[in-house]
Each structure stands twice: as structure tokens, then as C-alpha cells.
Structure 1
Amino acid sequence: MRKRGWKTWTLRAITAVLGLVLLALLGAWLYLRGSLAQLDGERKAPGLAAEVTVGRDQAGVPVIQGASRADVAYATGFVHAQERFFQMDLLRRTAAGELAELFGPKALPLDREHRLHRFRARAEAMLARLAGPERVLLDRYVAGVNDGLDALRARPFEYALTGAAPRPWTAQDSLLVVWAMYIDLQNNVAPREIARGWMREHSDPAQLAFLLPAASAIDATLDGGAPPAPAPLPAHAPDWWGGALGTNAQAPIKLAGADFADAVGSNNYAVAGARTASGAAIVSDDMHLGLQLPNTWFRMVLRFPDPAVGQRRLVGVTLPGAPPSIIVGSNGQVAWSFTNSYADLLDLVELGTDAAKAGQVRTPNGWETPREHVELIAVKGAPAERFVVRETSLGPIRTVGGRDYAVHWIAHDPQALNLNHLKLESARSVDEALAVAAIDGIPAQNFVAGDARGNIGWTIAGVLPRRSTPPEVATFPLDPDGRAPTWQGVLPAADYPRVLNPGDGQITTANSRQLMGAGAERIGDGGFDLGARNRQLHDGLLALGGRMDVRQAFGASLDDRALFIAEWRRRALAALDASALNGKPQRAEFRRLLETSWDGRASVDSSGYRLARDFMWALYDLLYGQANAALKERDPKATAALAGSRWPLVLARLLDEQPPGWLPGGYPSWQAVQLAAIDRVIAAIEDEGKNLADASWGARNTANVAHPISMAVPALRFLLAAPGDRLPGDAHMPRVAGPKFGQSERMTLSPGREEEGLYNMPGGQSGHPLSPYFLAGHDAWAEGRPLPLLPGKIQHTLRFVR
């Protein structure tokens, strides 16, 4: 009896525990359900002029229709908050330096870095200057955000996991979201200048000119200008060249290129009506960004009355949290697109000191006493941190390697941010769109537009500094002696460079140098891409000829031909001659795979592509390794590759000319250097536990796209991550693809013919893992399969009434 009773109580206890677990799971599921967006029904919304409807198709893409632009802004905010509020919260906190309040002390280093810029205070000052219709739209958007948040039956699930409560949205927060994009798009400029400053200090002028070329024949610029002649190759290398890597010999080998270190971002292009089947321009855009769930962009269609056209329809992507406008897309008459310009938008100005002038610093403008601002950084689970920002007339002070620099960044200028982007909604031609772009208060972008009449054009959208310093000087830290003054004020709109209807009927930009001649000095060089990607895009689009349609144009962004890496494959094969293979079976296997596992593309099954690419990066490790170790001591983000993106061209020239004065110590020949690089690749793959034949490009280039909460709670990754697709494509080709970086959207359309438009993006419309829209369409993005740009049949309708 006792034994039977013990078993009975054990079973009861197990049953009770299982019941509690099931109840907990049911409670969690009900909580998650409660934070899903409302898709159907009717809601009262004070302040509306008339009824507003939000219709959603099978992918969750909303069509918002209202009687006024302000009413549509309200509904946009409501939808953004219900689908993406946590994403919006992270963006405002990123710009303001307030992440530690959610994530604790581990976020403090990033908060300190961003709090230096005091963007919340700048947002308050900018908002005080904003008035008129733009302020009305922003306020209506904010009202919609807060009503959307309040309408959820449970707070967004992320807050249950972080233990925080969502804070109401404010107009300042929407401005902070734009500054978050300044940080995302321009945050490498300062470490780049630090890296270039180190190289200037440790190289003579001739060596520096050779190592840091400003342009090359690979550039396909919009003005078709010829690049300057390459700098002469100096007789000898600098002392740091080819020095010891300085790594633990027992640690696994990891190539610098393994982290997709050359990821920069975006392609856009336009084809004039003379070369399209319809006669209207075709505009295409794929902005490259860090990838996570939910995706950066939120696709929408907005409809409202407009006296100029009767009924205005805007099609494209929005940025949740930002002022309510279509970031890239079409208004039916003009379509526009962006790529990051990599203009020179920041100067690091070294500050002088003097023991006799305690508390003062010397700038090119003279001696001054920095102002001090005390910032309190809230920290989850710990006392708030007191952070003091010292600010000069040129910007806040940052200390690097024992030196103080004023950070003179265009993002600090009062004109850096405005709501002029809304004016694109009513632009009737490319000419009008280019004029708006030049007064747009956003991070400086390559702006490419086309109109329904077939015209195409380019300019810079966003604020540019007005420079007097020569570009070749401004890309290095500036001295405080006044001989190289920093920029002063912003460039007038009338002085912005532009290209309109070029003779070849196309415009392409891909983050590389835009101009070789007049106008280039107004943009400067803030870290242009190497240029191979834009050259391939430019030539590939030319090869399509005339009378192309939208689908053909869309395909240009999916070009994964390995034209750039093919040259590195050729060099590796040449190095692996019979003498190099004697008694070296791994080298022989390396050569076999270069020959047999190569289809001329960055294909997921290609081992040859990966080996050729890794060979290039292993040479970088061997020759720039000592410099990178020293740079890391100054700034963790500073690298030789960041200092000069054209380093592969530098190495290619050395391998072609094989100068003895640049042969690194310990190597009898340049072939020996290349074989050492091949051996390094072999060792790195072996350290991963792989055979060379198993080291395909897809095995390296596997998507790692997940919700940021999955990093804090790894057990939930199965709910919060996209499939680990093996992705074709790479950095130096139009189809950019990396595990956590790549094409954040692909959009191709003709204005006025949006029904023909094509689109896809990673992730889906919703940030909620239980939403049917969480990953809707993601598979099409991974496969490169275009979907219709316009939403399909409406399946859900939510109405807002007064």
C-alpha cells in the first residue's frame, strides 16, 4: 500500500508540474497573441477629418487611404507602432545613447559613444524650429503611434523579456530615428580618419600616395572622367609593412575577410525612357544594411487627395519611427532611390593644449574653453552613470590614443535634419526632384530619380559641408594650427553637383566615386567603395541594350558573377606551379578546387570562389597585419582596409610588378608570399574542422538574420530567426550578400506604371513571431525571386472613424 501510495503521489506531482508548465505556455501564448496588431474592425480616432482605411494583403502590406495627408500620417503611425514598436524604440535609443536602460551595463560603451553627440538635445532644438504643415503631420504621426501602442491588448513581447515598459512616443523621438540613420551610415568616417592618420605618421609621402590611391581605372564615374595616373611605386615599403601578425600562435586562424569586413552598402540605377520598352524611366534600388528581424523597411501604399493630380498614390518603403514619408519609391510621376554617398562629412580636428592655459584647447579658430554638459545614462539594474560631454565650437571632444579631437560632423549642424523629404511626394519631374534632394535634411545619399516622361538624373540628397580644405587633406585628422581649416557651414543647394539625362541613357551608383572632374571636390571622399561593384553594374546594364522592361532591370541587382575575384583566382593558380605542389597535397587540393569548383560566380556550392576570395584576404593579413594590430590600439574599428578601400588594387600591382623593396622580410620571393597566403587559408579552414572540398562559399555565406532579442535569449532563436539560407553573392558584385549584411530591399519600377513594379526584402512586414507576416516573402528574397511591388487582394480592413 505504501509503495502504491508513493507512486500515486509521484504521478500527481508530475501531473501538477506538467499542468503548471502547460498553463505557463498557454499564458505566454495568450500574452503573445494579445500583442498582435489589429487587422480588422473599427476604431474611433479623435482629430480625423474623415474615415481612414487600412487594408492589408496576404503579405501584410497596408494600403492606407484617407481624406487628408494628416489623416494618412495618423494611420501610418498607428500601423508602425502595432507592427514595429520595439524596432522604433531601439532606433531612438541608439541615437540618444539610451540602450543601457533596456540591456544593462553591457550597452554602456555604445551609449557613451552615441551620447557624445547629444542628439536628444539637438532634436529638442530642431523641433522648436519646426512649424506649419510639417509639424502638423509629425504630430499626427506621433498621435497615431501612441494610439497604436495603447490599442494593443498586451505590450509588445520584447518588453516582457527585458522587464521594461514601453515609453510613449514623442516628436523628438521621430527626429532621433533619422539621427540613428546618420550613425548607421556615417559612423565609420571617424575611425577611417584615425586609420589614415596613423598611416600618414608611419609612411613617407610617396609610400602614402601609393598605399592610398584616391581613384583608379576601375571606377565608372557618372561624368566618364579619366582617373589620375597611378602614383609611382616607391623603392621601399614602410617599416610596418609585412610585419608579424601579433596573434597567439595557439589560437585558431581567422582571416580578416571572414567577418565580411568590406561590406558597404547599396546599388541604385536608372534607365532613361529611350532605352525602356514603355518609354518611362526605370528606377531600381537595393539599399545594403545590417540585416535583422524585423527588416529596416516597412512597405506601404498611401492614398489621399491632392489638388495637382486628384488622387495621390505613394508607393514604396517607410522607416518605422521616422517622420511619415516614403523613403524610396514613387509618387506616380517621379520615382527616386538612394545609395549611401560616402561623402566626406566629418573632420577630426586635433586640439592643442598648453599648461599655461589650463582648461582651454586650441582649434584652428583659436583658444577656447569647452562647454561641459552632464549626461545621465540610465542603466538597468545599476545606478545611472554620470557622463560629461566637453564641447568646442567645432563639436564634442573625443579622446583617441591620448590625443583630444574635436568631432566636427555635419550631423551636428542645425540644418542636418528637416522634413523637406515630404516635398518629393508632389515632385512632377526629375528636375523638381533633384531640387528637393538638394535641400533634404537626411544623411547624404546618392539620389537617383526617373520620371514618367523618361528623364533620369542624379545628385546628392542630404546636407553637404561647404569645404575649403582640399579633399586630399580633409580625409586625415587636421592640425589645430589653422593651416588646414575644417569645413564651414553647409553647401548651398545651387552648388550641388548633378547629372541629368546622360548620353548613354543610364545612371548607376554603388557607393564608389561618383565624379572624376568638376563637382567631386564638393563631395569629398568619406570612404568610397573600391568601384568593382559599380563597374560591373554599369557594364551589365549597358549590355542589356535598349527596350528593356522592369523584370530585366530588376535582374541587374542579382548579378553574382565573380569578375573581380576571378583575377585573384588567376594569381593563385599561377603561384601554385609544379614546384609549389611538390610534396604538398593540401596545396594540390587547393589548386584542384580552384580549377574544378568554379563557375565564375559567387555560388553557394563553389569552393573555388571561397578559396580565391580567402587567398586575397590572407595576403591582406600577411602584409597589413602589423598595421592592423597597431590601429586596433587606437580605435577598435580602425583598419587598413577602412583607411583605403583600394588595398586589393595595391596588392595586385605589387604582385604584378614584384618590387624587391616591398618584399616582406622572411620571404625569398613574391611567389613565397603568395604560397604563405594559400597555406594560411588552408590552416584557417582546417581550424574550422573542415576539409577544403567542404569549404564552399555557401558554408561561409549562410544567412544569420534574427531578432535582436534572440541574442539576449538564445533559447527563443527558433521563434525569432529566419532560416539559415546559403546565399549567393558577395561584396564586389551587384548581388551583395553576407550573413548579417546585404540587400535590405530590392525595388524596381517605372513611375506611373507601378503595377509592373517588382520587390522583395528579408523578413516580413511584422516584427511579431506569431504574425503571419513575420517572414512573409523572406523566401523570395533569399532566392532572388521578384514579387509584385503593389499589394495583392485586400484580405483585412481596419477603419478609423471620428
Structure 2
Amino acid sequence: MSSLFKWLVRAVSAVLILAALALLFTYYLASRSLPDYDAEREVFGIEAEVEIVRNNSNVPHIFGESDADVFFGLGYAHAQDRLWQMTMLRRTVQGRLSEVFGERTLKADELMRRLDLYRLAQGAVSAQDADTIRALEAYSRGVNSWLDRVNAEALGRGAPEFFLFDNSISPWSPADSIAILKLMGVQLTGHLNEEVLRAQVSLALEDARVADILPDIPGSGTAALPDFASMFPEADRERDFAALRPADPPSMLYPSPERGLAGASNAWAADATRSAAGATLMANDPHLGLSAPTIWYLARLDLASGGVIGASIPGVPALILGRSADFAWGATSSYMDDQDVLIERQNPDDPKQVQTPDGWATLTERPSIIRVKDGAPVTLTLQWSPNGPIIPGNHYNLGAVTPPGHLAALQWTLLTSDDSSMTAAMKLMRAKSVEDGIAAGEGSVAPSLNITMIDRETIALKTFGHMPRRDADHMTFGRLPAPGWRKENIWLGRESYAANPEFVAPSGGIVGNTNNKLLERPFPLHVSWDWGDSQRVQRWQALMQNREVHTRESFIEAQLDTVSITARNLLPLVGADLWFTGEAAPDGTPERARQRALELLANWNGEMSEHLPEPLIYMAWMRSLQTRLIRDELGPLANAFTHVEPIFIERVFRDVNGASVWCDVRQSAPTETCTEIARVALDDALLWIDEHYGGETEALRWGDAHQATHDHQVLGDVPVLRWFVNIRQSTSGGDNTLLRGRTSGRGPEPFNNVHGATYRGVYDFADPDSSLFVTSTGQSGHFLSRHYEDLGELWRRGEYIPMSLDPELARAAAVGTTILRPAGN
């Protein structure tokens, strides 16, 4: 027995030693790709010395004797810190993910091949001006210089992920950068999803009820839409439009966002008359899907036009957000309606032909081969009608609204090679004034953004991007898929840039946008039917008007504000007949739990603090309530409404145009009242909370449910590894707060924070070097780096780092300085 015990000890010890050695070896290999920031290198592709000074937050300050050399340095720094992210972005837009991940990403690759964005990006290189082309070329040389060093010195393949997946990396090119900018357009647009869903809902409900669940943002009325099914009389409505189901959950790395998770953002500015220090102020926080690392990369560039500092996107040689010494700019999603679905009627005698206003037209076709890891290649036949690419029914749930004998084509401003958006971004970055900034936007095509900007004296907001010119007689006003053979449904080109919304030096001294409806203009100059939520803007208006003058601190306070106007509006309405009714029920009963919850909510100010129980009770209640209201009318299609629709609930409980009918369960004999449904929904919510979190109601924490999920897009679900690569944080805020933390709406953790302010910047021209910024994770994409998540903790706490253009400050706090010298000199 003693001998057996000794051998067991030896065996276990050997296993532990081998495991430790394996971990050490793995760490060694992974750590080889951590860049040395304090180095001197000779490189090809620059004319003179380039200096990259990284401050203690790992923000590179890049200095060179020419702009081309500075952009070389940015490419070099991007590749050092975000090589894996850059290659994934490029593979996504190229439709080449399946070469690495196999069948799991086939759907994503198919969509990108059919949109043909990479080929369009290649064509768009020639649409840029000479300065931009030189910047793109120099940036590509910088990326490739780092790739050469990785290969020459075996620097851990450039990133730890390349030990697990295909590590082949083709050289970077200017088209790659333009393609990534186009990819951002895919991720910021949701109108196609809205068109399809509106068509599905219109097939299931009468018009008045469609206006309840998919309401117009308050304002003047909208012309009546045609019945969707009546536009396709040859289709059997019962048979062909019966598949009223929500879209499938996105597949791995699918680039198009789910409904409700397209772009959002906040931005506001004050002129000198509304500033305590007598100088212009601005704050901006763009909202995107949370990930590790974030999409943003902070940098300072020392250009001939002056220094600029702010947020870039790895792979793109421009600062998308930021400031210079005299000018600052920020971006919010404009929600411009830049997509239309056209249903193409196929020729019964030749399905490769579709009907046009001028007769039958033959589809343009091209084969495209997707190579699949561990699988056979897949050959697609890409098709285009005169209106745009043909998108199969398995994308965007188009199959549910495309009758047999028809195809769905997509009109989209993004789908052009005549795209000078990169040049517009470069000009905006070099602007010296609001006038220059507005002029820069004329070349912007897509994605469409609202650009808030300030100079030393003026504030402004201008919508960038092409606005489609629609016929005033368009059958669906761009709100539903429309017959592609009708002339009035086909775009007539684009509106002039002057037609884009513009607000310069407003009389009130403040301008801002929370994705709210910007203006009221008749179709077709309406800009959009679908906007961001109508709630955040109410809180923003109150915060701006509560002070006669503002400071940097008051703008930060607004950025971090967690009060939900939605909760303040809905709770008194929904619970009107439930507050303080009856005697206290016995402990342990559902009635007592309901009373305790209502007591908490009655004394709550709507602050969505991570430390409070009320936000969790409120969110669970409203989610349960909406489900009960819509489930019997919409059936499985109810699953498409993953987030609470505040205007819908308000219409129901105010009985707008008979909307209280939603409270009656159609399948039951009694007629249920809205009060009864509200009571039952609250009981459902409390039961769900008890099952998931337990404990005393007063001890619940919203932050336990509202976890920010900065997940690695590839390794985030891999056992063990996910503990190293994912970043999870308890967070405040919610769907409709200025400190926006959009919930997932799906799965067993529907309140996870998945979409929020991935960048925050506050710029103060009274003291420009007191300007601040932060991102949601850190500068490095390497999970072993201390800069992988260091900014994320500041972000969670509502803190920032300085935004200074002073080179001596950067050098004084440097964690490393890289000197690049021309090879051979």
C-alpha cells in the first residue's frame, strides 16, 4: 500500500509539473507577441525619423517630419497593439472568415460576398484625393513594416490568437482601410431590419395596431401606407406570408447588428454664452457593441496642419473623433434612411430575368468561392438586379416577406465605389473651423453620421452622408419592401449635401443629439421615419436647461447621468391602480412580495444605479408586461421585440386610438383589463427575479444583472480561455439613460449590458489640455498586456484620462518611446 501511495504521489506530481511547464511554455509563446515600446528600429518606407511616444495609458503620440511618415507610425502602432482585430475586420469585410473558423461563419461570409463591399472598396481607392491616397499608402507601409518584423523575429506570430487559428496574414493595402470604413456602415444601419419587421407586423395586425407596436416618433402625422400583401396580388397571403417569425439569432461574427443594436450615441456642445469659462465646450460618447478589445484606439498625430488627438479605428488612418488646438468634432448615428428593399418579380419563363419599369432585365451574375476550413469549398452565384444586389431570404429574415417567384434586392448608399468618405474623414480631422468641418462632409457617402463640432467661437451640427432622393409618390415611403418594377419606388439619385440637416450657432447657445428626431420635414426630405429612442433627449434637455452656463464638469455629469425618464413616465401610468392598495399581506406570499416591490418603486427617483434593487424590478416588470401584451397577438413574432418599447406601453395604458385592446387576452373568455395584466406581469417578474437572484428584495442589485460584457469575439465562449479574455463589470444605466447601457434582450441573462459608450470625450476650449477621454477597455488587444483593460476600469467608474497635445507631457509620462529610422541611412 505504501508503495502504491508513493507512485500515486509521483504520478500526480509529474502531471502537475508537466501542466506547469505547459502553462509556462504557453505563456512564453503568447508573451513573445507583446511589443517592446522602448526600442529603436530601422524600417523601410519612411523618409525621416518617426517618434512614437506612448504615455502611461499607452496612447501613442506620433511625430514625424511629414504627414506620410506620421501615418506610417500610426499603421505601425495599430499593428503592434491590434493586429488580430485588424485582420478579423478585414476578413469579415472580405467574406473570408470561414477559411479560419469553418462552417460557423459561412452565413457572415455569404452576406459580405453578396454585398460585394471589398470589391467596391478596391474601386473606391481612386475616388480619394491625392493627400488621402498618400496617407493610405503610408499607413499600409507602416502596418506591413510591423508584419515584416513579426516574421523576421518570430514575435509570437503577432498576437496570441494566431497560435490557435490560421496565422497567414497578407500585406495591408489602401483598399483594406476603405473596406473597414464600409464595414462600419454595415454595423451602424438598421433600416433593412425595420422594413422587414414592419412588413411582417402589417401582415399580422390591422393598421391601428401596427401604429401601436411600431409607432412613429411623436410629431406630425404620416401618410397612410398601402397594405403590404395587396402590393403582391399574385401571392397567396395565407400560404406565402404565413412564416411570421423573428429573424434567427446572429451566427458567429455576423456583421449586421440585431434590431435595436445598431448605432446610437450622444453629443452636445455649448457656445461661449452658455459656458462658465467663456469658451466653447463639447461632449461625445458614441455607442457601439461592447467587445474586448473595443473598436476604438486612442492616438495623437502631429500633422503639418497641427496636432490632433482622439479615437481611431484600427485599420483606418484617420482619427474619427477628437480635437485639435482649435477644432473638435464628435459623431452620433444619424439614423438616415439609406436603405430600401425592393421586391423583384421574376420572369416565369426565365427566372434570371426580373421585371423593370422598362421591361425584363437579365440579372448580372458572378461566381464566388468561399473556402471553408475542414470542409468543401462553397460556390455562390452573386446576383445583381438594376436596383442592387440580390439578398437571399436567410438574411435579415427577408424570406418571410418575399413571395414565391420574387427576389429581394437592396438599394443602399453604401453600395458604391464612388465613395470618398475616407477623404471626408481626413479633411474633417484637419479642419480648423466649423466652416471647414461642414465643408469636409460634402464628400462623405456612408455611413451617415451627425457630426457635432466646435471651434473657438462657433458650435454646429451637420449630417454627413448621402441622402437618397426618393420619388414623392413612392408606394411605401421607404418604410416597407416595395415592388421593384414600379418606377416610383426606384431611387432618383441623391439629394444635395445642402439638404442634409444643419444647425449652426443656434440662438439658445446649445446644440446636441441623442439619436432623437432632428427635424420635421415632409417626405421625401424627411431624413428618416425611424430614429433612436425618444426618451434620452428629454433628460438631456432638462439637464441642459437647468443651468444657465455649463462647465466641463456639468457635461461630464450629463454623460454619466443614470436617471431614466422612461421609468419616471411609465411607472405611475402602469401602476396607477396598484399603489398602496389593501392591508399588508402576510410575509412569504406573492401579494406581500408585490407590495414590497411597489413600495420600493413608489419612492424611487428613476436612477438606474448598479447598487439599487429598483432598476431590476422595473426592468423585469416592463419586460414581462410587454411580453404579456403582445404574445397572443403576434405569436412567435413577439420574439422580435427584444427590448421594451416605451411609446407602445404608454399608448396602451393611455388607450390611444383604442390601444388598450392589447390588454385583453384574445384566447380567454373574460375581458382582461390593463390593471390586471400589469398586476400579473409584476408577479411574473418577481418570480423570475427570485429564481435568478433570490434573497431579500431590498438586497437586489441592478449591477448583478446589468453586467457589461466586453467579450472577445472569438475566444469569449471558449472554456478556461474566456476567463482571461473577457472583461465583465457591474454597471449602472440602462436602455434609455444618457449613460446608456443597452441590454441584450435575449437568453437567460436578458439584462446584460451589451451596447454602450465605447468612447467618451469632453473638450473644453477654455483650457484645451484639460480635455478628457476614455475608452471601454484599453489600448492593447493582447490579453497578457496590462493595457488590455486598464482604461476599462476608469470607464466603469466614470473617470477619464487627459487629452493633451503637449509633447513634453507625453514624454514625461512615457512608458516607452519607439524610434523608427529610415533603413540604410
TM-score w.r.t. length of structure 2: 0.85
Between 25-34 and 745-754, the greater mean CA deviation after superposition: 745-754
2:287 corresponds in structure 1 to 288
| 1:316 match | 310
Q: How much does 1:148 deviate?
A: 1.6
For 1:596 and 1:639, locate their aligned partners in 2 and report how far apart those are by CA, in whole Å. 28
Aligned to 1:250: none
**Residue number among 601, 607, 632 corresponding to 2:613 in the alignment:** 607
2:625 alignment partner in structure 1: 619
Q: Which residue of 2 aligns with 1:699?
A: 704
- Offset, 1:80: 0.2
1:670 aligns with 2:674: yes
Q: How far is 1:446 from its partner?
A: 0.9
Per the alignment, residue 87 of structure 1 pairs with 85
Match of 1:527 in 2: 530
Counterpart of 1:339 in structure 2 is: 332
Whichever residue aligns with residue 493 of structure 2, its letter is: G
Whether the aligned pair in 2 keeps the contact of 1:271 and 1:506 (CA below 8 Å) is yes
Three-state SS of the structure 2 residue aligned to 1:86 is helix
Distance 1:260 1:783 in 2: 29
Q: CA–CA distance in 1 between the matches of 2:70 and 2:261?
A: 40
Confirm or deny: 8 A CA contact 2:261 2:755 kept in the other structure. Answer: no
> Contact 1:104–1:379 (CA<8 Å) still a contact in 2?
yes
**Which residue number in structure 1 is paired with residue 783 of structure 2?**
769
Query: How do 1:187-202 and structure 2 match up within 5 A?
Result: 188-202=190-204
CA shift for structure 1 position 685: 2.5
Give the corresponding residue for 2:365. Answer: 372
Q: How far apart are the structure 1 equivalents of 2:662 and 2:629?
A: 13
| CA shift for structure 1 position 317 | 0.5
1:774 Cα deviation after fit:
1.1
Relative to structure 1, is the Cα distance of residues 659 and 127 closer, same or farther in structure 2, using a 3 angstrom cutoff? closer
Write the distance in 2 (CA, Å) between the matches of 1:59 and 1:509: 30
Flag the 1:649–1:441 CA change in 2: closer, same or farther, 3 A.
same
Separation in structure 1 between the aligned mates of residue 529 and residue 24 of structure 2, nearest angstrom: 53
**Cα pair distance change 1:372/1:481, threshold 3 Å:** closer
Q: For residue 639 of structure 1, report the CA deviation from its aligned partner.
A: 4.3
Map of 2:42 onto structure 1: 44
Unaligned 5+ segments in structure 1 are: 217-226, 233-239, 248-258, 307-311
For 1:713, the equivalent position in structure 2 comes to 718
Distance (whole Å) between structure 2 residues aligned to residue 461 and residue 751 of structure 1: 24
Secondary structure, in 3 states, of the residue corresponding to 1:511? coil
CA distance in 2, matches of 1:24, 1:565: 53
1:497 and 2:501 equivalent? yes
Aligned residues with identical type, % of pairs: 25
Which amino acid counterpart does residue 464 of structure 1 have in structure 2? M
Q: 1:572 to 1:74 in 2, by over 3 A?
A: same
Determine helix, strand or coil for the equivalent of 1:43: strand
Q: Does the 8 Å contact 2:128/2:420 carry over to 1? A: no
SS in 2 for 1:717: helix
CA contact (8 A) 1:417 1:442 kept: no
For 2:443 and 2:654, the matched residues in 1 are separated by 42
Give, in whole Å, the separation in 1 of the partners of 2:339 and 2:529.
8
Match of 2:589 in 1: 585
Contact 1:530/1:646 (<8 A) preserved: no
Would the alpha carbon gap of residues 206 and 604 (structure 1) be closer, same or farther in structure 2, given more than 3 Å must change?
closer
- Please tell me whether the aligned partners of residues 120 and 416 of structure 2 are also in contact (alpha carbons under 8 angstroms): no
Q: Residue 779 of structure 1 is aligned with which of 793, 797, 804?
A: 793
* C-alpha distance 301-358 of structure 1, shift in aligned 2 (>3 A): closer
SS of the aligned residue for 1:438 comes to: helix
Task: State the alpha-carbon separation in 1 of the partners of residues 637 and 648 from structure 2.
Answer: 16
Q: For 2:352, which of 346, 351, 359 is the aligned residue?
A: 359
Question: 1:475 & 1:785 partners in 2: Cα distance?
Answer: 41
Query: Is the counterpart of residue 175 in structure 1 residue 173 in structure 2?
Result: no
1:228 aligned residue: 220
In the alignment, which of 390, 393, 396 is matched to residue 389 of structure 2? 396
Q: What letter corresponds to residue 706 of structure 2 in structure 1?
A: N
2:267 pairs with 1:265: no
Distance 1:167 1:262 in 2: 32
Give the TM-score taking structure 1 as reference length: 0.87
Change (3 A) 1:627 1:45: farther
Q: 1:476 to 1:141 in 2, by over 3 A?
A: same
User: What do residues 380-425 of structure 1 show as CA deviations (whole Å, max 9, x unaligned)?
Assistant: 2112211222111111112322532111111102334532211123
Q: Counterpart of 2:95 in structure 1: which amino acid?
A: G
- Give per-residue Cα distances to partners, 1:330-360, cap 9 Å, x unaligned: 1222111101111101000111134234421
Contact persistence 1:558–1:735 (CA under 8 A):
yes
Write the letter of the residue equivalent to 1:776: D
Partner of 2:740: helix, strand, or coil?
Answer: coil
* Alpha-carbon contact 1:60-1:765 (below 8 Å) kept: yes
Q: CA, structure 1 residues 575+260, in 2 after alignment: closer, same or farther (shift >3 Å)?
A: farther
CA 1:388 to 1:652, structure 2 compared with 1: closer, same or farther past 3 Å? farther
- State the shift of 1:262 in Å: 6.9
Deviations 1:740-795 (A, max 9, x none): 21110110103584311122221110011221211122111101123322375223
Separation of aligned partners in 2, 1:352 and 1:437? 37
Q: 1:581 to 1:162 in 2, by over 3 A?
A: farther
1:507 aligns to what? 511
Match of 1:236 in 2: none
Q: Does 1:74 align with 2:72?
A: yes
Output the CA distance in 1 between the equivalents of 2:488 and 2:133: 40
Change (3 A) 1:523 1:84: farther
Q: Distance in 2 between matches of 1:314 and 1:687?
A: 52
Query: 1:287 Cα deviation (Å)?
Result: 0.6
Q: Which amino acid aligns with 2:266?
A: N
Q: Is 1:801 matched up with 2:807? A: no
Q: Cα deviations across residues 15-63 of structure 1 (Å, max 9, x unaligned)?
A: 5444433332222122122101220121112232221100011111111
**Counterpart secondary structure, 1:617:** helix
Residue 422 of structure 2 is matched in structure 1 by 419
Q: Which residue is equivalent to 1:565?
A: 567
2-structure distance, mates of 1:786, 1:131? 36
**Does the 8 Å contact 2:414/2:445 carry over to 1?**
no
String of CA shifts for 1:603-660, please: whole Å, max 9, x gaps.
Answer: 123222222233222222122225654548xxx9x54979x88434433433897756
CA distance in 2, matches of 1:419, 1:345: 18
Shift of 1:664: 3.7
Q: From the superposition, tell whether residues 457 and 534 of structure 1 become closer, same or farther in structure 2 (CA, over 3 Å).
A: same
Task: Give the aligned partner of residue 748 of structure 2.
Answer: none
| Larger CA deviation: 648-657 vs 53-62 | 648-657
Match of 1:219 in 2: none
> CA separation of 1:482/1:782 partners in 2, compared to 1, >3 Å: closer, same or farther?
same
Which piece of structure 1 moves more, 21-30 or 344-353?
21-30
From 732, 735, 748, the counterpart of 2:736: 732
Task: Using the TM superposition, give the Cα deviation of residue 110 of structure 1 relative to its aligned residue in structure 2, in angstroms.
Answer: 2.0
* Structure 1 residue aligned with 2:750: none
- Shifted more, 786-795 versus 191-200: the winner is 786-795
Partners of 1:392 and 1:415 lie apart in 2 by 19
Aligned counterparts of 1:261 and 1:342: Cα–Cα separation in 2: 12
**Aligned counterparts of 2:337 and 2:259: Cα–Cα separation in 1:** 23
Offset, 1:559: 1.0
Amino acid at match of 1:647: F
Provide the rounded CA distance (Å) in 2 between the counterparts of 1:631 and 1:661.
15
Secondary structure of residue in 1 paired with 2:288:
strand
Mark the runs of 5 or more structure 2 residues left unpaired by the alignment.
225-237, 239-243, 247-257, 394-398, 743-752
* Pair 7,641 (structure 1): closer, same or farther in 2 beyond 3 Å: closer
Deviates more, 1:604-613 or 1:11-20: 11-20
Q: Distance in 2 between matches of 1:481 and 1:230?
A: 25
Distance (whole Å) between structure 2 residues aligned to residue 77 and residue 447 of structure 1: 25
Within-5 A mapping of 1:50-129: 50-129=48-127
Pick one of 23, 34, 42 that aligns with 1:25: 23
- 1:350 is aligned to 2:343: yes
Matching residue's letter, 2:789: L
* Cα root mean square deviation, aligned: 3.1
User: Counterpart of 1:105 in structure 2: which amino acid?
Assistant: E
Q: Residue type matched to 1:475 in 2?
A: R
